[in-house]
Amino acid sequence: MERLLLGVSGHCLFTFLASLVLTQIFYLIQLGKMRSIDSFGDAINENLPAIVVALVISLFMTARSFLFNWREVAIQNEKLKTESMASRFASLKAQVNPHFLFNSLNVLSGLVYRDADLSARFIKKLSEVYRYVLDQQEQELVPIQEEMEFVESIVFLQQIRFGENLKVSMNIDEDASKMIAPLALQMLLENAIKHNVISAQSPLYIDINQEGEYLVVSNTLQPKTVMGESLGLGLENIRKRYGFLTNQTVEVLQDNGKFIVKLPIIEVE
């Protein structure tokens, strides 16, 4: 508002001075002398039409500029919303993929003949995973505690599959005000399992810890000789989601034989 008032006032003042100067020049050319001005009020009254015209033009141009700026901001906001929705949908597709379901059902088919009770727990955890994914697909943020309960179900299913060859440790503070992007942890967990060797000779260690304002997921780096689909798209998806949610960046690095991803923790009042 201050900028609007200053702009309009400046425009009117400039018009008044320009009109005053042009009037004096006209009198000088026509009569050979400058015109005397009895008072400032008389000068205002004589140049009032020019000032009114300048005011109308200034208001019109300011309103036009405001309209264009507002439209540009609205388009940018809509674009960000669209990108966020597309990002969440891409993330959802990445999490509920046929390979995860196929592997889970394959494990279950062998498990039902060996341990009925464990099979029942496996089915319950699998249903909890899919229920959580469906419940959170429209959410931008979820409490860390809820996400960790979801991750525990994922870990349970994966450890039935890989046994002692998969080691996962989790050490997270339970604070309802601390939030993260939903399904991001599962994507990192699935990437670690997908792209690294897991065997009795080379167990895969995955650690999920909290370091200050970051949730840190690290795994031992033992890449498979034959790689599947690159994890670059998954990480880029996570970066875009966090780019929409916060100014903090997702950090990705390799250090001392470990692949490390740091997810910003977002606190809400």
Compute the average pLDDT of residues 7-16. 56
| Residue 97 pLDDT exceeds 70 | no
Provide the 8-state DSSP code for 33.
S
In angstroms, the CA 58 to CA 236 distance is: 46
CATH code reported for the domain at 96-267: 3.30.565.10
pLDDT tens digits, one per residue of 12-55: 555 555 555 555 555 555 555 555 555 555 555 555 565 555 55
Cα–Cα distances in angstroms (integers) from residue 144 to residues 64, 171, 248, 267, in the given order: 46, 12, 17, 10
Percent of the chain at pLDDT > 70 equals 61
pLDDT tens digits, one per residue of 83-93: 555 555 555 55
- Closest residue by Cα to residue 216 from 176, 182, 265: 265
Cα–Cα distances in angstroms (integers) from residue 200 to residues 98, 154, 269, in the given order: 26, 21, 46
For the chain, give every domain's residue range: 2-83, 96-267
pLDDT tens digits, one per residue of 180-216: 988 888 889 988 998 899 999 999 999 999 998 999 9
Residue 81: the pLDDT is: 61
More confident residue, 106 or 71: 106
Residues in Cβ contact with 1 at an 8 Å cutoff, skipping those fewer than 6 apart: none
CB–CB of 264/213 below 8 Å? yes
Confidence of residue 105 (pLDDT cuts 50, 70, 90): confident
Confidence of residue 130 (pLDDT cuts 50, 70, 90): confident
In angstroms, the CA 230 to CA 158 distance is: 21
